[in-house]
Chains A and B, each alone.
Chain A
């Protein structure tokens, strides 16, 4: 496929995904803004205009770059994780076949230009795939910063390692924009990030209701829109959505309230959530790195000094992260158990992107812990765009929950 054709087909599949989403019944009116954002493609032009105006774009994969630093340096932060099945194929021949589809899609998308042009791309060292991809992209002339992570999150040594990495990133950002990240702009950026966190948290809280005032699909779209949108615009839209949902009552709830965890589910590849929705279930809480888990973390400022703000920002993205590349399974288990309880879920769906060893190895012990507590668990494996084969398992799972006593007990819990 030519690059041009690939770009077009990515765009087509995004629009198709939007159509499917918009066709779902009973959506809040506030979702219109987010639908239009993706349908119009207006952000792409906006970014080009920004760049022409001299603003630097800093892209990242995953969520380890504290956006407050990028903003304080006078640049525009973007998160480039996307789930285009088409882009996976575009990487064929250049990457070995046993590399996960997220890395392959990224490689393909960067090559074909269906991921925004940025002045600096930050790739975290979460796994060998991303580490090696950094040098491949660099060889193609991209500006890539490798943000390394310690192999474990436990202990003060690893925190020291992480802080050193963030210091290096700060130097790189300052060199890029020629502007020092000083206390005042950092303080302002922290407030913006905290506004985002508060809005995301409020939306998450609303999903505790039974039935939830908006579907898991819509919530995930809102969350992932924040990856690329202008932060202020996003905050305004999300805040008014929260206002609307707080007043909103939905007549019939889902057959099963699901907690989704594991590897990222990335726009426009929401197939897994559609399967669940079609079976009558809804995702009411998630613990995936492309979900609300990171978004709801505020920057807890302890000392209003440059060093204090930087430390708070660096720790916001690092310490609460349960990525299996460095977090212990116990941390994830605690988090999942809390979510399951507080969001009153009926079952857990654990998602693994094929070839991602970290999530795959976490799953059995987590499944065991949930089964012990009598909470149904389903482990699924996917690749971008390939869910059809899961339909019968997902349906059987939801059916099983729907007929069990658990669902009817929920009122009294």
Chain B
């Protein structure tokens, strides 16, 4: 069921723009040049919205303008007037508050591709690689380090007098994000693999190829890229707001570990939670596999806005 939703979102987000253009005749504007998004006044997408998933600015005829991280980067680099960035920011925050990381578990195109890697591995009955606790917990921080670096660079690029490097630094994370490769690829656009035009370009090219390789770590480690992804890191901040939550009745829990074992993100909070009721973790993508796996009726459930949505 989740796979179906994911696939549907994948097609909607990647090809929705084409459909909107064909059906409604909405001009989706200039397409971004391969590899570099210049300051395009008219959005190259059907809607000027940003979503907290990898809806990518680099995709041809996108349905949305970009991802949540691109939103922040853009606001920092171009220092648009408040009325231009604030409304979309509010929409973004509202969306993240409302659904937390359900976005990651059910909507994100890149997350869907990660899950396809897992499916491919399982089709061959190959074992997964489980990260050691130290590595697993350490990786949680890499996304915030990346986030800080990226926002720092973007702010630098937006500083008055930095026009010379602005073009090189205007979307630092995009330069290494695997979606920058996948989005044009899936929308039949030219993929820009390398950019050796400037020193920064060389560095980003190398990092980008490395990151693209890392994405395929997903063949061994479930949702490997998601453990590094700062876009998910942003939604994570809203995951424990209480509007979306995994709720556990610890009395019914036999500590059988099925939840921890089936979690693609190796979340332990659901398993370890005792006494307390909400067990949502920052890292949890709300994929609800744990709810499905739990053999004790009434032990785990998923609540949205305080109402039970799933769980026996």
Q: Does more than half of chain B's interface fall in helix, strand or loop, or is it mixed?
A: loop
Does A334 make an interface contact (CB < 8 A)?
Answer: yes
Count chain B CB atoms within 10 A of each CB in A153, A156, A316, A320 and give the residue with the most. Answer: A320
Smallest CB–CB gap between B136 and chain A, Å? 10
Interface residue A67 (Cβ < 8 Å from any Cβ of B):
no
Query: Are A315 and B256 in contact, with the CB atoms below 8 A?
Result: yes
A300, B293: Cβ atoms under 8 Å? Answer: yes
Q: Is A27 an interface residue (CB 8 A)?
A: no
Contact B255 A305 (CB under 8 A): no
Contact with B along A230-258 (1 / 0, CB 8 A): 00000000000000000000000000000
Q: Mask for B223-252, Cβ within 8 A of A = 1, else 0?
A: 000000000000000000000000000111
Given known A-B contacts A156-B133, A298-B295, A334 and B250 have beta carbons under 8 A apart: yes
Are A319 and B127 CB-contacts (below 8 A) given A300-B293, A304-B122? no
What 1/0 flags go to A308-338 for Cβ under 8 Å of B?
1001100110011000000000110011011
Chain A: residues with Cβ within 8 Å of the partner, total of: 27
Q: Is there contact, CB below 8 Å, between A303 and B251? A: no
Q: Are A305 and B261 closer than 8 Å at their CB atoms?
A: no
B27 sits at the interface (CB 8 A): no
Q: Does A307 reach chain B (CB closer than 8 Å)?
A: yes
User: With a CB–CB cut-off of 8 A, which chain B residues contact A335?
Assistant: 254
Would B255 and A302 count as touching, CB distance under 8 A? no
Report A-chain residues with C-beta under 8 Å of the C-beta of B250.
334
A319 near B262: Cβ-Cβ < 8 Å:
no
B289 / chain A contacts, CB cutoff of 8 Å: 302
Q: Mark A129-167, 1 if CB is under 8 A from B, else 0.
A: 000000000000000000000000100100100000000
- Would A334 and B262 be within 8 Å (CB), given that A302-B293, A305-B126, A307-B128 are in contact? no
Residue of A nearest to B126 (CB): A305
Point out the residues of chain B lying under 8 angstroms from A331, CB to CB.
255
Number of interface residues of B (CB under 8 A): 22
A177 at the interface (CB under 8 A from B): no
User: Is B127's CB under 8 angstroms from A300's CB?
Assistant: no
Bound-state CA distance A12–B67 (Å) is 77
Say if the beta carbon of B56 comes within 8 Å of chain A.
Answer: no
B274, CB-defined interface residue at 8 Å: yes
A156 — which chain B residues lie within 8 A by C-beta?
Answer: 133, 268
Q: Are B128 and A303 in contact (CB under 8 A)?
A: yes
Given contacts A156-B133, A305-B125, A305-B128, contact A320 B254 (CB under 8 A): yes
Q: C-beta contact mask, A74-90 vs B, less than 8 Å → 1, else 0?
A: 00000000000000000
Query: Binary interface profile of B, 282-304, with partner A (CB < 8 Å = 1, else 0)?
Result: 00000001000101000000000
A306–B125 CA distance with the chains assembled, in angstroms? 8
The reply to whether A320 and B256 form a contact with Cβ atoms under 8 Å apart is yes
Q: Tell me, yes or no, whether B16 is within 8 Å of chain A by CB.
A: no
Q: Which residue of B lies closest to A316 (CB)?
A: B256
Known interface pairs A306-B127, A307-B127, A334-B274. Does A300 touch B122 (Cβ–Cβ under 8 Å)? no
* Cα(A304)–Cα(B119), bound, Å: 11
Report the minimal beta-carbon distance from B311 to chain A, rounded to whole angstroms.
15
Residue A51 at the chain B interface, CB threshold 8 Å: no
A362 to chain B, nearest CB (A): 16
Whether A9 is near chain B, meaning CB under 8 Å from some CB there, is: no
Report which residue of A302, A330, A334, A337 has the largest number of chain B beta carbons within 10 angstroms of its beta carbon: A302
Q: In the bound complex, what is the Cα–Cα distance between A75 and B307 (angstroms)?
A: 49
In the assembled complex, the Cα of A303 lies from the Cα of B126 at a distance in Å of 9
B253 and A300 within 8 A (CB): no
- The answer to whether the Cβ of A209 comes within 8 Å of any Cβ in the partner chain is no
Q: Give every chain B residue within 8 A of A341 (Cβ-Cβ).
A: 251
Of the residues A297, A304, A308, A334, contact of B295 by C-beta under 8 Å? A297
A183 at interface, CB cutoff 8 A: yes
**Residues of B with C-beta under 8 A to A183:** 125
A303-B122, A316-B256 known; A334+B128 contact, CB < 8 A: no
Rounded to whole angstroms, the CA-CA distance of A312 and B261 in the bound complex is 8
Residues in A neighbouring B126, C-beta threshold 8 A: 305
Chain B 253-265 interface mask (CB, 8 Å, partner A; 1/0): 1111110011000
Contacts of A298 in B (CB 8 A): 295
| B256 and A300 form a contact (CB under 8 A) | yes
In the bound complex, CA of A157 to CA of B50 (Å): 43
- A68 CB to closest chain B CB (Å) equals 15
Asked whether A338 lies within 8 Å of B251 as measured between CB atoms, the reply is yes
The one of A315, A330, A338 that contacts B252, using a Cβ cutoff of 8 Å = A338
In the complex, what residues of A have CB within 8 A of residue B293's CB? 300, 302
Contacts of A311 in B (CB 8 A): 261
- B269–chain A nearest beta-carbon distance, Å: 13
Shortest CB-to-CB span from A158 to chain B, Å, is: 12
Question: With the chains together, A225 CA to B303 CA distance in Å?
Answer: 42
Q: Which residue of A lies closest to B293 (CB)?
A: A300
- Neighbouring A residues of B268 by C-beta, 8 Å: 156
Note all chain A residues with C-beta closer than 8 A to B253.
Answer: 334
Please state if A300 and B254 are interface contacts (CB–CB under 8 Å): no
Per CB-CB distance, the 9 closest pairs between chain A and chain B, nearest first, are A307-B127, A300-B258, A302-B262, A319-B257, A320-B254, A320-B256, A338-B251, A315-B257, A305-B127
Q: A residues bordering B, Cβ < 8 Å?
A: 153, 156, 159, 183, 297-298, 300, 302-308, 311-312, 315-316, 319-320, 330-331, 334-335, 337-338, 341
Can you list 22 A-B contacts (CB < 8 A)?
A183-B125, A297-B254, A297-B295, A298-B295, A300-B261, A302-B261, A302-B293, A303-B122, A304-B122, A305-B126, A305-B128, A306-B125, A306-B127, A308-B127, A311-B261, A315-B256, A315-B258, A319-B257, A320-B254, A334-B274, A337-B251, A338-B252
